Structures are given as C-alpha cells and as structure tokens.
Structure 1
Amino acid sequence: MPSWGENLYNWHYRIIIMKVGFIQMNIEILDVKKNVDNAINLIEKNDADLVVLPELFNTGYNFNNKGEVLGVSEKIPDGYTTKLLKEFTENTDKTIVFGLSEKTDKGLYNSLAIVSKGEYIGKYRKIHLFFDEKDFFLPGDLGFKIFEIDGIKIGTMICFDWFFPESTRTLALKGADIICHPANLVMPYCPEAMKTICLQNRIYSITSNRVGEERGLKFIGQSQIVGPDGKIIFRASEDKQKAFHVEIDPLKSRDKNLNPKNNIFNDRRADFYELI
C-alpha cells in the first residue's frame, strides 16, 4: 500500500488522505516508565499516520524543584523515551511527536522530538516558557522548525508558544501544512484561540493536552484538531483519556486563497509591520 506521501505527485487535485491524531492522557508525575507504557498502549489503539502526544508526557509537569526535573530528563535522541518510541515505530507507517525534558551540557530544555518509521527525525525546544518553567528550563534556541515527512511539512510548537501569534505565523510562512502542538494547558483560552489561529494562517493544527490533576494543578483536556477553515474537526473531553484520529487532506493548507481576489500571504503588507 502506498504511503500518504506518495500521492503528492499531483497535489493540485488536493486528494491525498492522511490519518492524523492525538493522545490525550493522564500522566503520573516522575514515573517515566508508566507514562511511556500508557502512551504506547493508547497509540496502539490509534490508527493514525501522525500522532501527537502531550508536552512532557513522560515525566509530568508540576515539579517541586530542579532536582526533580533533572532526575527524569533525557538526552535526545539517545535517551530511554526517544529510543523506545523510535523502536515502536519500526515496521509501521507511524510518525510520533512527543514532549519531554531534554538534558544537555548547557542545561535543560522543554523539548519535543519526532520519530518516524524507526528513525529519529529531529527536535524542537520550547521558545516561550510559562511561569515556573523559567526556574527549570532554558529558553529554546533552535527556532521554529519545519520537518518534512513523505512530502508533508510539519511545524512544531509547545504549549504556551501558541500565545504569541508570531509563532504560528512563522511556521505558516515557512510552509507548514500541519502544526503539531504538544501541550499541558491549564488556562482555558487555547482551544478557542486555535480556531482563529488556524483560520488566519489557513493551516491544520493538532493540540494534544493532558487530563487530570497534578499536585493541585488541574489540566483542561480538550485536545483537538482544527482545520484551515477555523472549524474544529474534533475536540476531546475535559477529563477523559482519548486516542483519536481522523482523515484529512493536509494539502488544503497550501491553498491560502480566501476568495478569487484575496490571498492571505500575498495580501500581507510586511512593509508596515516593522515593529514586529
């Protein structure tokens, strides 16, 4: 069976089918093995080609001190979690985007990694750190990145990055077809805001959030997939684990026309945006 990327030879017809999804899960603080096992169990129930897991899915989020974070941080790609998920995707068509704490010689980063079909693809480091994250992590230094897999361009950001419109606009201008968005959302704003963001950029987004409560911090769930028209394709509940996937045509993101006379990129007046 041909992979979803093999249909790109004639994208003008915009008829490629790609299964994309997310894992919304409960996460146990500091229990890496349990969290990874839970994620793999849920992924096995998900028939998606592209699966997005939450931010820091393997460690939890609400750390008491930097020592806790350091104890569960890993090298990328040589750490336990990346190696295990890479091996899991061998002999499959799956691509997995997942958040984890990255250990480096410089310090720790709130990062995500991508593995696909038994290969390590790359990583992104969160640029906009939220609240106590600033006590534990260094701000990301790799820029907003696009990863091309079977001809589909995947843009990446992590949780609070969404709050800055420059994040998603940069990814869209770099040609992303889909924005993969691992998150640990606690504020209520993101699910609705992503509708406007996707409409403004004519792009798909996949937000994978977690559920449950961790040391008094409650997460809002509502993982979702939004289309380039700003409409919610599917939104999960606020409190239940969910493995979901849907078929989309990612090349719809390459059509930036609102009507015969308006193209959202061609109509930009960058000469008046100098403050940005």
Structure 2
Amino acid sequence: MPRIALLQLSAVAEPEKNIRKTEAAIRKAASEGAEIICTQELFTTEYFCTTQDTDKFDLADKIPGPVTENHQSLAKELGVVIVASGFEKRATGLYHNSAWVVDADGSLLGIYRKMHIPQDPGFEEKFYFTPGDTGYKAFDTKFGKIGVLICWDQWYPEAARLTALKGAEILIYPTAIGWLPEEKEEFGEAQHNAWQAVQCGHAVANSCYVVAINRTGTEGNTEFWGRSFVSDHYGQVIATAPVAEEMILTADIDLDALEAHRRIWPFFRDRRIDSYSQITERFID
C-alpha cells in the first residue's frame, strides 16, 4: 500500500529558491514514509503566464537537464518515485508545460507534455506552451502504474480515460489554479466545487485513484486555492489540504482494493467501443 505525498507550496520569483524548497519538502515527505512524491504544476517558478512576456522564456529548462538530474539523484538516494512539473525548453521558440516521472532507482521513466492549453485572462498559456505531442502515457513505477496529466487536462474525461486505458492505477494532476478577485465572491466556491467534482468523476469512471496537487498563495491578482486532494476509486476525497497553507499532504493508496473494485465494477469490459467513433469529431451537427 504505497503512500503518496502532495507538495502544496507557494512560489517566489527566483527558481533556485523554489527548487531548494521543493527538495527540502521531498526529503521531509520521504522521511515520513512517502513513496510517491508529487509537485505542483511549474514548481520551479511563479505562475508566469499572467501576461505575455518573451523574457519569461528564459525560465525554461531542458529535459533531461539539471532539474531532472537532481530529481534522479534524490529519488535514488531516498528510494522514492518523484513526479514533477516544469517549463520545458525543447528548442528556441518551442516550449512545453511538461511533467517527468523518476523511478525509485533514479531512472528517468519519461516525460508527459500537457495536451490541453488554456487561454483566459490571467492564464495566457497559449503564448508560452506548444500543445503536447507525447500522447497519453502510464509509467510503470516501483510503487504502482502512474498516469500524469497537467492542470487544464483535468477537465477532459477523454484524457483521463485514455490514460487509464494505458493501465494507470493513479492519475496525477500537477495543477496551478486559483481565483481572480473579480470572480471569487460570486463564483469562487462553485469554481472550486466543479474542479474537484470533475476529477472525482474521473476516479469513478476509470476506477482509479486521482491526485491533484495545487499551489497555494497569492501571485499578482491570482489567489491560488490550494485544496490539493486525493480521491479514491469511489470518488471519495480521502485527504485534502487547506486553501492558504503550505502542506505536505499524504494518503495511502490501496492497490489491492483497487484491483478488487475493478473486478466488480467492470467499466472497461462494458464499453461499447463500436459506438464511439464520433468522439473524434469537434462537434456533431
């Protein structure tokens, strides 16, 4: 029964400070028995996508590169799996919002590039990120088969389904989501409820655990709402963090119970794959 740790942290403008802070949190989580340790989205930086600024491309790192290599050393030293998310420079003019998975022996199992890229006031991600081209992936780690998706991906049931169909037992969503001041009073709680509910729905529909790691704190006009959580395969939230506090949130993942659950709720068996061809259409007139 692996223990998973969600690192809900705030961020500052200097990447090195965020990297050191996160390393300290990884070490603390491992010392408390965590075997899978997950960061928030873009953990090395503040959420810089609030404006369009070409200087922000300097924040990107190569993968593999110094950050991933450090995580490989850490994972091997501590015997843990690390799932982290950062800003990838693939080439000049070609950047991704990416995640990487490092196994407990220090091997880099691979990367996932965020597929769904939002564009909203305060979330100018299409300016910075090329849509992912890795496809949906599941990584076979020492402590379970993990699927990684990133933030805006979490609203799309197709992404969760395809990742689960690759064999994922745990869907992990590094996230950076929050309230804008002009919306919070009227829509704030509804926005949070929708975010949590849709992901719990993915847990039910795919008989998976779902893990969402959000940042906390206020950056510019955005108040990140924290509330990182873990849902079991019934869609029950078994662990949740507060809004405005940094926290290492832990939960135990019962993979034996998941196996038993999938045997009596056989959603994959009963899918009518012969009837789904229109799902690849943009809209059905």
Q: CA deviation at 1:20?
A: 1.1
Q: CA deviation at 1:217?
A: 1.3
Q: What is the CA–CA distance in structure 2 between the aligned matches of 1:134 and 1:167, rounded to whole Å?
A: 19
Match of 2:98? Answer: 111
Corresponding residue SS for 1:26: coil
**Under a length normalisation based on structure 1, what TM-score does the superposition of the two structures give?**
0.87
Q: What is the CA–CA distance in structure 1 between the aligned matches of 2:276 and 2:261, rounded to whole Å?
A: 20
Q: CA deviation at 1:59?
A: 1.2
**Under a length normalisation based on structure 2, what TM-score does the superposition of the two structures give?**
0.85
Kindly indicate whether residue 18 of structure 2 is the aligned counterpart of residue 35 of structure 1: yes
The percent of aligned pairs where both chains have the same amino acid is: 29
Kindly indicate whether residue 261 of structure 2 is the aligned counterpart of residue 275 of structure 1: no
CA contact (8 A) 2:202 2:210 kept: no
Q: What is the CA–CA distance in structure 1 between the aligned matches of 2:145 and 2:76, rounded to whole Å?
A: 21
Corresponding residue SS for 1:238: coil
CA contact (8 A) 1:22 1:208 kept: yes
Match of 1:68? Answer: 55
Match of 1:218? Answer: 223
Q: Which has the higher contact order (CA 8 A, sep 6+)?
A: 1
**AA matched with 1:49:** E
Please, what is the CA RMSD of the aligned residues? Answer: 1.7
Corresponding residue SS for 1:37: helix
- Picking from 267, 270, 279, the partner of 1:264 is 267
Q: What is the CA–CA distance in structure 2 between the aligned matches of 1:88 and 1:27, rounded to whole Å?
A: 21
Q: CA deviation at 1:256?
A: 5.3
Kindly indicate whether residue 217 of structure 2 is the aligned counterpart of residue 230 of structure 1: no
**AA matched with 2:48:** N
**AA matched with 1:265:** F
CA contact (8 A) 1:101 1:110 kept: yes
CA contact (8 A) 2:95 2:129 kept: yes
Corresponding residue SS for 1:266: coil
Q: CA deviation at 1:95?
A: 0.8
Q: What is the CA–CA distance in structure 2 between the aligned matches of 1:266 and 1:68, rounded to whole Å?
A: 50
Q: What is the CA–CA distance in structure 1 between the aligned matches of 2:162 and 2:53, rounded to whole Å?
A: 31
**AA matched with 2:275:** F
**1:71-119 deviations in whole A, cap 9, x for unaligned?**
11000012x2212222222222211111100001260000011123322
Q: CA deviation at 1:258?
A: 7.4
In terms of mean alpha carbon deviation, does 163-172 or 84-93 score higher?
A: 84-93
Corresponding residue SS for 1:230: coil
Corresponding residue SS for 2:140: strand
Q: How many matched pairs?
A: 256
Q: CA deviation at 1:68?
A: 3.3
CA contact (8 A) 1:177 1:251 kept: no
Match of 2:133? Answer: 141
Uncovered stretches (5+) of structure 2, i.e. residues with no partner: 179-190, 280-285
- Picking from 96, 112, 117, the partner of 1:124 is 112
Kindly indicate whether residue 190 of structure 2 is the aligned counterpart of residue 207 of structure 1: no
Corresponding residue SS for 1:28: coil
Show the 5 A alignment for 1:10-29: 17-29=1-13
Q: What is the CA–CA distance in structure 1 between the aligned matches of 2:216 and 2:172, rounded to whole Å?
A: 18
Q: What is the CA–CA distance in structure 2 between the aligned matches of 1:96 and 1:125, rounded to whole Å?
A: 16
Q: CA deviation at 1:45?
A: 1.9
**AA matched with 1:32:** P
**AA matched with 1:57:** F
Corresponding residue SS for 2:152: helix
